[in-house]
Amino acid sequence: MKDRPKVGIVIGSASDKGEVEKGTAILKRFGIPFELRIISAHRTPELAAEYAKGAASRGISIIIAGAGYAAHLAGAMAANTILPVIGVPLAASSLGGLDSLLSTVQMPKGIPVATVTIGGVGMENAALLAAEILALNDESIRKELIKYREEMKKAIKDANEGDDD
């Protein structure tokens, strides 16, 4: 039987799927089950509300929402759940994602969205943040995060070996 997803990833358009891969790779590495849905805050607002309201009952602990342009998807999720929502602005317009960043980060009092950097790196950081939150109550994820950080340190150290000062 497949594990129930702990992380729900929602993106505003099928064209955003390419940005998601770095994040899903992190979740897979840490053994965190997830689901991916395409939901538009503007074209399918009822579906967005329904998804967010039902997420906890399906076992979801954290929602990662990525969208471009006006990027209201993370806010729509946060408005309809008390689960943590991580917003990932995507670079879809000629503004390089700045429009999405401002739309995602500028939330009204009482409806927080944790916002990460723009694009694929943002998806990766969102997955890492989700893993850190889940690691508060999951020792195996905590150990994998420690290992991941050690690997990053080693890569930097290895990159400097043999360099003349």
**Contacts for 161 with CB less than 8 Å, ≥ 6 apart:** none
Domains of the chain: which residue ranges?
A: 7-160
- pLDDT > 90: what percent of the chain? 88
CA pair distance 123, 27, nearest whole angstrom: 11
Residue 129, token pair as written in the block: 């943040």
Task: Give pTM, 2 decimals.
Answer: 0.94
pLDDT at 1 over 50: no
* Residue 125 near residue 117, CB atoms below 8 Å: yes
By C-alpha distance, which of 36, 12, 13 is closest to 23? Answer: 36
Contact yes or no for 103/89 (Cβ under 8 A) = yes
pLDDT confidence band for 93 (50 / 70 / 90): confident
Indicate whether 152 pLDDT > 70: yes
pLDDT in tens, 121-138: 999 999 999 999 999 999
pLDDT grade for 31, boundaries at 50, 70 and 90? very high
CATH 3.40.50.1970 fits 7-160, yes or no: yes
| Residue pLDDT, tens place only, 32-84 | 999 999 999 999 999 999 999 999 999 999 999 999 998 999 999 999 999 99
Average pLDDT in the chain: 95
